[in-house]
Amino acid sequence: MLVMNSKARRPRRRPLLVLRDFIAQEDGAMIGFSLLVFLAMLIFSGLAIDLMRHELHRTRIQSTMDRALLAAAHPDQETDRKEVVLDYFKRAGLDGIVKREDIKVLVAQDGTSVSAFANSSIHTPFLNYVGVSSLPAPAGGGAAKANVLTEISLVVDVSGSMANNSSNGVSKISELRKAATEFSNLLLCDAKNPATPANWEDCTIKSKKTSLSLVPYSTQVNVGATILGKFDRQDAQTDAYCVDFPDSEFTKTAVVPKVDMSVEPEKAVTQAAKFFRYFQSGSRSSGDFQIPASDFGRRNAYLSCHTDSWREVSALEDNPAHMEARIKTLQASGDTAIDIGMKWGVALLDNAMEPAITDLIADGQVHSEFASRPLDPATTASSKFVVLMTDGQNTNHHHLVDGYRTGPSLFWFNDERNIISVLDIGNDPDSDHDDTYIWFDADERPRTRGEYYNGHRGMPTYLRRDKPYGLDGARDCIQNRHGSWHCTTDGYDTTERLTWEEFWAAGFTWRMFELDAHSVFKNRNANGVNIPGRLISNSQNSGAVDANGNPIKAIDKRLLDQCDAAKLAGMTIYTIEMETPNTATDAMQKCASTKDGKLLHYKVDANLDLSTVFGRIAEDINRLRLTH
């Protein structure tokens, strides 16, 4: 039997034991996995680095492309536009990326556009290990500075509250004059020194592509004889140049200047009368029947239509010096009729105004380059903007109804004794056999409050007779309630029938119509009868509601109707509130247009002044935009 020596067997068993011990050991088990993870991290880090380098390169090219195209497309660019693009890339260290044949320049009548394409790539050292040696980095774009035909209406508030100081410590009207001048210069000229836009001497006048109309408003809009004289008018007169608009006209953008008066006179605008307004739904016991001429100046703010030259509309202005001179004259007085201001601002952008503008061009009031303006969007592309500014909210409006503006009035006046006779037509309107005349003394002291509410309606003592007081020199006498007698001189005829123009110009107020003894006047507020006119109060609801079901005020409804009509016609509306009460914000916000998701409504306060807002709007209108 063969016997093995144990010592001899031991060397042959050692490798197996070592292998067994190695397999049983756990030290270094993660090394393999870690190597795999590290390799993956290297791959992804390299991918991130390559992609980051690619994006930085692409962004650099695109940014250079944008700057180059904007500079090349500028209307004042005198260098070869393709060379401008190439030079931008050369100075950026990107020479050779853009080829001259990849730059396209299109010069058209309405402006210049420049487009280009850059084809570049970037080496990818990390992605190269997985077979991607480079990544493309293309860039392209286009820019255009179109010489767009632009029409702008600047509608500004010149009501009495504009005389108050703003949070900046100066009057709001002063801020408006400065801001509006800068706005005009930014639109009508190219400033040599952009830091001083208020100085028109520092700018060169642009080509006649932009027209700017100025519409100051307060209680009404004084269109002025120069412009309104080009209109066919109902109740035409020369005392004042405002227009009364029915509510239905605020759903339209047009104010038609020329109509066939022999066929459709009702389509002509209705010229408003100038009178001392006075609310008709009630009476003030201390109210005046007549404002004395010596007091006209002090009571000027209470006129229904102001005639100050600084209030007049300026149509289609092209010269910044002329516009600055007009803006500098603006003052502050009167109530607030934002709806009527907006009405005229929109009308001056509507093509229906063209016949009046043509006449103004013939008179040298408007530049001949603006023939055919306001432009017809159906035939000529143009941009139309309304910039509407206020520091308050709509207040009450007073409008005379038909039959009380022009022509023979119902009143006779005796100049010798200042006695009024008012015609009270009898039962037969076609005959004067039963007509009577009510005499009263317009100078009689107003009744006290107690007397007023005791059924007297504040009216003086009156007599009813069959002819006007003192007519044809007859000696007539009347005793007022204070016991004073007024008798005419026999044979001295100073009694004459007043026209409505003369009646209102003499300073008589709506209180003259509170005579309850008059068969017509006594019904002045009943069953829709408005004598002598209509009061539109913004404290009353219009009957309409907004999208949230909230009632819309009567005058705000007219404003919002006009804003909707303007936007529907393609006009862009910017609205500005200058430190207004919160109650005004709703209507102005709803009036504003929305552009690129942004509401074009600005609120001026201590942190945002009026000049800044006007500057932003002018920049927005003038902005040079990338086309793609």
Q: What is the pLDDT of residues 465-487, one digit of tens each?
A: 999 999 999 999 998 777 788 89
Q: What is the pTM (predicted TM-score) of this model?
A: 0.76
> Could you report the per-residue pLDDT of 241-270, keeping only the tens digit for each?
999 999 999 999 999 999 999 999 999 999
| 150-280+298-400+536-622: CATH number | 3.40.50.410
Q: Across residues 114-136, what is the average pLDDT? A: 81
Give dist(CA 180, CA 198) in Å, integer.
Answer: 9
Confidence of residue 583 (pLDDT cuts 50, 70, 90): low
Q: How far is CA 264 from the centre of its chain?
A: 31
Q: For 336-453, where are the E strands, in sequence order?
A: 383-390, 397-400, 408-414, 419-424, 436-441
* Residue 33 φ then ψ, to 5°: -65, -40
Q: What is the dihedral of CA 253, 259, 263, 268, to 10 degrees?
A: 60
> Could you report the per-residue pLDDT of 336-350, keeping only the tens digit for each?
999 999 999 999 999
- pLDDT of the residue at 412: 96
Q: Across residues 266-285, what is the average pLDDT? A: 72
Please give the full DSSP string across 283-314, using - where no structure is assigned.
Answer: --TT--SB--GGGTTTTGGGBSS---GGG--E
How much of the chain exceeds pLDDT 90, in percent?
44
- pLDDT of the residue at 56: 86
- pLDDT of the residue at 193: 56
Q: Which range has the worst mean pLDDT, 357-361, 412-416, 513-517?
A: 513-517
Pick 150 or 541 by higher pLDDT: 150
> What crossing angle do the helices spanning 320-328 and 172-188 adopt, rounded to 10°?
170
Checking if the pLDDT of 360 tops 90, the result is yes
Q: Across residues 21-38, what is the average pLDDT? A: 67
Give dist(CA 200, CA 207) in Å, integer.
Answer: 15
Pick 214 or 27 by higher pLDDT: 214
Rounded to the nearest integer, the mean pLDDT of the chain is 83
Q: Across residues 82-97, what is the average pLDDT? A: 89
- pLDDT of the residue at 372: 92
Confidence of residue 48 (pLDDT cuts 50, 70, 90): confident
Checking if the pLDDT of 47 tops 50, the result is yes
- pLDDT of the residue at 240: 93
Q: Which range has the worst mean pLDDT, 28-42, 204-218, 439-453?
A: 439-453
Confidence of residue 525 (pLDDT cuts 50, 70, 90): confident
Give dist(CA 89, CA 94) in Å, integer.
Answer: 5
Checking if the pLDDT of 282 tops 50, the result is no
